[in-house]
Amino acid sequence: MFLVTGSAGFMTTLDNTVVTVALPAIRHDLGARLAALEWVATAYILTFAGLMLAGGRLADVHGPRRVLLAGLGAFTAASLGAGLAGSIEVLVAARLAQGAGAALILPATLAALAGREERQRSAGVAVWMASGAAALALGPVVGGLLSQYAHWGWVFLINVPAGVAVIALAAVAIPGTRRRGRELDAAGAAASVLFLGAGTFALIHGGEHGWSSPAVLAALGGCAAGAAAFWAAERRAGDPMVDLRLFAVRRFTGGVVAQVLWGLGVNGVFFYTAIFLQGVLGFTPTASGLAFVPLALLVVLVTPVAPGVARRLGAGRTVAAGLVLVAAGMALAATLRAGDGWARLLPAVCAIGVGSALTMPLGSAVLGAVPEARAGVAGGVFSVSREVSGLFGIAAVGVIVHGAGGFAAGYSAGLLVAAGLVLAGALISLVTLS
């Protein structure tokens, strides 16, 4: 079970970041225009975030095993199509399909863990979150190595043998269950796709093309309309996709908000740190990618300890301590200046890595706060909060970075703001998860 959980989390998160370094090679081979190249990078997250709530509902209706296998099959087939794509149009279509498969995988994986006893659930969710954090850090490294020493198609083709292996494991390790008497809630599902899909589009393209551009304004309007339609649909539905009463559960809402604040801070830092390391500190592209490896290693090494710490101190104190460490690492990174090297960088990276590992009880606390029959949608809400907060974090930190009169000064200011958001998450965790 844990191998399925970790592999699924790693594969789906890796495809968020692994492609960025390969974009120049893709542009050269396929003769793609810059606008089309942007879609290669963003199409995956668009369907991933937009369909995740619907994927969670499907897991609740049809059972996690069936939905997980369907998602893994779609993701693996789409990865094969992307790796063999001979045109930019085929590649973008395959990336959209990859995201749709991932939107089934993540909430189904969490729903499968929800039925386990508390200790197993805590360990499983910790593995899932750690694998995602490690993939987030290692994505640029893997993408850079494959692009430099192999064809760019291997950025996607590596998912094929991994996907086949995880399908075989999931078929054996995940028990087959079905939630009787549940309906899909088609109106809620459609509204959630509009709400999340349009909002994701606006966050991706707002900073780059301007928040007043016609496409972004239309997306923001669609997001607002989708949110209103979703609220109305869930209020009227006899068996709503997302029971709004879940948000009255302090542990559930506090955990989701803390996850959002962590994502706002950390994802913005990851995105702009790679630019800072090369443009200000003078790191090579390879050294810039390797700078994230200690963070990923510490997440993997410390994560097994986190559930035990949570059992002794409580989830609230453990997560809060982790978020304080993450914020301290960000504040330390904000002091970096031109000419600094590994000696100044590593303490900040290590603090963020250890702190992120200690936040792993967050997912188990959220899942443990809801009935098992709602675990799929709860997992979808939690996963969406992570993905969308990451996009919003990149956009928000970007506004600070570009408005400060210089990249280095803007980067430091953005880090301090991100650290403040993470500290707010620590306070919320301490109050709601204890």
Separation of CA 377 from chain center? 16
C-alpha closest to that of 429 among 214, 247, 215, 262: 262
Give the model's confidence band at 336: pLDDT under 50 very low, under 70 low, under 90 confident, else very high.
Answer: confident
Output the pLDDT for position 337. Answer: 86
Which amino acid is residue 259, in one-letter code? Q
Q: What is the CA radius of gyration of the chain?
A: 20
Output the pLDDT for position 179. Answer: 55
Backbone angles phi, psi at 280, to 5 degrees: -110, -50
How many residues in the chain? 434
| Percent of the chain whose pLDDT exceeds 90 | 20
Q: Which residue is it, tokens 């893997």?
A: 142
Output the pLDDT for position 404. Answer: 67
**C-alpha dist (Å) from residue 66 to 111, 168, 182, 345:** 12, 13, 15, 45
Region 201-210 average pLDDT: 75
C-alpha closest to that of 127 among 270, 233, 3: 3
pLDDT tens profile 354-410: 998 898 888 778 877 777 777 777 778 887 787 777 777 777 777 777 676 777 888
On whether the CB atoms of residues 5 and 59 are closer than 8 A, the answer is: no
The kind and range of the H/E element at 196 are helix 186-209
pLDDT tens profile 64-119: 889 999 999 999 999 999 999 989 999 999 999 999 999 999 888 888 877 666 67
Half-sphere exposure of 358 (CA within 13 A, CB side): 24
Separation of CA 344 from chain center? 28
**C-alpha dist (Å) from residue 70 to 82, 102, 166, 390, 431:** 18, 10, 12, 26, 39
212-226, 247-261, 403-417: least confidently modelled range: 403-417
Residue 180: pLDDT above 60? no
Region 151-157 average pLDDT: 88
On whether the CB atoms of residues 14 and 22 are closer than 8 A, the answer is: no
Separation of CA 400 from chain center? 22
Give the model's confidence band at 178: pLDDT under 50 very low, under 70 low, under 90 confident, else very high.
Answer: low
Q: How many CB atoms lie within 10 A of CB 301?
A: 13
How big is the CA angle at 354 (ends 398 and 432), to the nearest 5 degrees? 80
248-285 burial, b for 16+ CB within 10 Å, e for fewer? ebebbbbbbbbbbbbbbbbbbbbbbbbebbeebbebee
Output the pLDDT for position 244. Answer: 77
80-90 burial, b for 16+ CB within 10 Å, e for fewer? bbbbebeebee
Between these two residues, 205 and 249, which has the higher pLDDT value? 249
Task: Name the most confidently modeled range: 95-109, 231-245, 255-269.
Answer: 95-109
pLDDT tens profile 394-411: 777 777 776 767 778 888
